Structure 1
Amino acid sequence: MTIALRYCHITVNDVDEALTFYRDALGLEVRNDIASGGHRWVTLGGPAQPGLEIVLSDPHAGRSQADGDTLQELLTKGVLPMIVFRTDDLDATFEKVRASGAEVLQEPIDQAWGPRDCAFRDPSGNMVRINQEPAA
């Protein structure tokens, strides 16, 4: 028996704005773009992990009004869980994302626990960390 992560959801205020960040700045490819009931779900992924997709959607997509409102409050506060990406060239990735105009939270540094990493906020305020494993 095997098990693998298939979808990772990221709640965003504006799917188009988030798409520009995740597609253009991070280089992910759009795999699906589905509209339903006034909401939209966009999935993206990278060639290194063909079976894994990130799903972008607004707080109310597929949720009750009350749950969507609660999720919107958490998104506005910037307290939703971060997402962490891995790259083989952190400095080049950092420069590409910074050039997109994304808010830099942390420039690349070597962390005590191993990886070299940096951090940004996506257009909705979600923390996005990017790391590179140390050279062996």
Structure 2
Amino acid sequence: MRIVVTSIFVDAQDKALDFYTRVLGFEPRQDVPAGGARWLTVGVPGEEGGVELLLEPAGHPAVAPFTQALVADGIPFTSFAVDSVQDEYERLLDLGVEFTQPPTQMGPMTTAVFSDTVGNLIQIAGSNG
């Protein structure tokens, strides 16, 4: 068994696709009409067959209270690994990304948290070594 697709709820699929590709550097994988929305995924460049992130519409009534509570409490919805949190933090700041937590050492890891502009907080993490 392996993970193939995981989801993140987004307020606007086009805006999410722009942010996750142009700003974060993921590449588009699937874009298939699905009723009034799309089955829209992104993945790590060069990792064909790797895990895809589904940019899932946040239309279900349970989504808004859930994601709003996470954001209000400063809890990231998901986490992405990076080689250098400080370097990625500076790169993303230069692109106008808003951080709620600057790079912070937490045991053997350094983390930072930012808004993905479509309703979520996202954590980046990397080792201190």
With structure 2 as the length reference, what TM-score do the two structures score? 0.84
- Structure 2: distance between partners of 1:81 and 1:119: 7
* C-alpha deviation, 1:78, in angstroms: 4.0
1:21 maps to 2:19:
yes
The answer to whether the 8 A contact 2:76-2:113 is kept is no
- Structure 2: distance between partners of 1:100 and 1:54: 22
Structure 2 equivalent of residue 90 of structure 1: 85
Is the partner of 2:3 in helix, strand or coil? coil
- Structure 2: distance between partners of 1:15 and 1:78: 20
State the aligned residue count.
125
* C-alpha deviation, 1:101, in angstroms: 2.2
* C-alpha deviation, 1:75, in angstroms: 2.9
- Structure 2: distance between partners of 1:90 and 1:106: 12
Amino acid at match of 1:75: T
Amino acid at match of 1:95: E
Query: What is the root-mean-square deviation of aligned Cα atoms in Å?
Result: 2.0
Q: Greater share of strand residues, 1 or 2?
A: 2
With structure 1 as the length reference, what TM-score do the two structures score? 0.80
Is the partner of 1:107 in helix, strand or coil? strand
Q: 1:19 to 1:38 in 2, by over 3 A?
A: same
Aligned counterparts, 1:1-136, within 5 A: 3-47=1-45, 49-50=47-48, 51-60=50-59, 68-78=60-70, 82-112=77-107, 114-135=108-129
Larger radius of gyration: 1
Map Cα deviations across residues 114-133 of structure 1 (whole Å, 9 max, x no partner). 11111101112311000111
Instruction: Please list every run of 5 or more consecutive structure 2 residues that lacks an aligned counterpart in the other structure.
Output: none
* C-alpha deviation, 1:21, in angstroms: 1.6
Map Cα deviations across residues 19-51 of structure 1 (whole Å, 9 max, x no partner). 122111111011111122111221111147542
Amino acid at match of 1:134: N
